[in-house]
Every structure is written in structure tokens, then in C-alpha cells.
């Protein structure tokens, strides 16, 4: 995890069963990425969730990037 996301994204078994969340919230990385995928703008997210900021959204994107960076897809043999 890069330093931007490591300061802002936490994994705690007591919060959302250990899903990565924005520090100090119960907003998961998955939830924020989902909002962006559904077409929400950063401004929409920040207006509806004023407890987070721009850097938190960037940290979510960085966290997702870092998780996907090493993902490998192997086609089925056949």
C-alpha cells in the first residue's frame, strides 16, 4: 500500500468485518469505488459524505490500484 492510502485506509476486524475503510469512518473503499463506478462525481461524494475529503477518495483509488496491480487472470484450460 502506498503512503497516501496507508495513512487513510485501515483494516480493523471490528469495523465492517475487516473490510478496508477510510480511517475514522465506516465508509469502505469498496463503497467509494462503487459510487465512482456508478457515475458519482467527487463533488457528489464529498457533499453527501462531509466527514471525508479529497485525499480520502484518492487513497481509496490508490488502495484499489494497489490491490489490482498484482492480480493475475488465468484462462481456463481447455
What is the pLDDT, as a whole number, of residue 10? Answer: 96
Q: How far apart are CA 42 and CA 21, in angstroms?
A: 17
pLDDT tens digits along 5-25: 678 999 999 999 999 999 999
DSSP lists the bridge partners of residue 21 as: 10, 28
* Confidence bin at 4 (pLDDT 50/70/90): low
Tell me the pTM.
0.85
pLDDT tens digits along 45-54: 999 999 999 9
Query: Mind listing the domains of the chain with CATH numbers?
Result: 3-69 (1.10.10.10)
Beta strands in the chain (DSSP E): 9-11, 20-22
Amino acid at each position: 500500500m502506498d503512503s497516501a492510502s496507508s495513512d487513510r485506509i485501515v483494516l480493523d476486524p471490528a469495523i465492517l468485518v475487516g473490510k478496508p475503510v477510510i480511517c475514522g469512518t465506516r465508509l469502505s473503499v469498496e463503497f467509494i469505488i462503487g459510487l465512482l463506478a456508478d457515475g458519482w462525481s467527487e463533488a457528489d461524494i464529498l457533499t453527501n459524505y462531509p466527514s471525508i475529503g479529497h485525499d480520502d477518495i484518492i487513497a481509496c483509488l490508490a488502495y484499489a490500484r494497489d490491490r489490482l496491480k498484482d492480480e493475475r487472470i488465468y484462462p481456463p484450460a481447455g
